[in-house]
């Protein structure tokens, strides 16, 4: 007999409340950001199943609009979550959408943005709150899985004579596969959606906070359904895969919105 699956979701704003350096581009020269183009969020998905012997299986997936998680912060969060809620550390996945327009959270990005200790504390508290809310939100769901493809990306490495340069390469490798997982309650409400695709969010090098096309796409999906529906972007192995900059885009923000609109084709199936 299949064990019923309970899922809880949460979404918390992690837009920095004070100016700080962003991670992702050396051209910013570690200067504090100038403006906010779009809000950043952490989105949590909590999973639980109860066995016949009354034991419970728990797992957690957290997706945040940052470049990547530092080893130190990830370890600290896993230890805290395991200690407080009993979710095994090896059942906790911390995913980053890999936006290049979010705050630096690791010393490994020195030169591309240095972390601010106050923001690290702010982010850590936001993650813990998101976990607490997601656990309290858990309810039985059914799962629907979809697959498709999206053509928003292009390889960014090209051979010119005897060297490799950074340039769009239409003949290069990409990963067009798009996966979607939808969690639906017994009342038919779409509780949450997990999407998976591989592409760098690098449409803007402005010194502005942005969740990039990933954040735009997720908010667009969320707006189509119940106000409590949480949609999270899981970044794949993006390697040398960049988004194609639309010819119609007059500026970076136009490019982000156009790509964000063009990406989530699979959503129409659900």
Which DSSP state fits 70? -
Task: Single out the residue of 41, 66, 62, 3 nearest to residue 194, CA to CA.
Answer: 62
- Segments in the chain below pLDDT 70: 1-2, 110, 264-270
Tell me how far CA of residue 166 lies from CA of 33, 157, 205, in angstroms: 26, 5, 16
pTM: 0.93
Distance CA 63, CA 131 (A): 11
pLDDT of residue 209: 98
The tens digit of pLDDT for each residue in 163-198 reads 988 888 999 999 999 999 999 999 999 999 999 999
User: Nearest CA to 217 among 99, 84, 58?
Assistant: 99
**DSSP H/E element including 220:** helix 212-223
């Amino acid at each position: 007999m299949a064990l019923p699956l309970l899922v809880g979701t949460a979404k918390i704003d992690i837009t920095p409340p004070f100016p700080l350096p962003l991670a992702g581009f050396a051209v910013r020269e570690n200067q504090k950001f100038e403006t906010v183009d779009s809000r950043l969020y952490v989105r949590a998905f909590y999973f639980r199943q109860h066995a016949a012997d009354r034991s419970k299986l728990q797992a957690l997936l957290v997706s945040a609009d940052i470049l990547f998680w530092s080893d130190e912060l990830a370890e600290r969060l896993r230890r805290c979550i395991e200690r407080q809620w009993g979710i095994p550390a090896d059942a906790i996945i911390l995913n980053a959408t890999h936006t290049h327009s979010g705050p630096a959270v690791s010393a490994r990005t020195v030169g591309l943005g240095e972390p601010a200790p106050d923001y690290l504390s702010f982010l850590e508290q936001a993650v813990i709150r998101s976990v607490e809310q997601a656990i309290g939100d858990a309810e039985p769901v059914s799962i629907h899985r979809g697959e498709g493809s999206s053509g928003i990306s292009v390889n960014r490495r090209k051979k010119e004579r005897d060297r490799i340069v950074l340039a769009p390469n239409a003949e290069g490798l990409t990963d067009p596969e798009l996966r979607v997982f939808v969690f639906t309650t017994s009342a038919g409400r779409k509780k949450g959606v997990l999407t998976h695709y591989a592409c760098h969010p690098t449409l803007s090098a402005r010194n502005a906070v942005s969740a990039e096309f990933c954040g735009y796409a997720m908010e667009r999906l969320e707006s189509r359904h119940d106000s409590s529906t949480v949609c999270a972007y899981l970044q794949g192995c993006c390697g040398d895969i960049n988004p194609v900059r639309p010819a119609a885009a007059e500026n970076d923000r136009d490019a982000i919105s156009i790509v964000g609109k063009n990406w989530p084709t699979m959503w129409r199936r659900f």
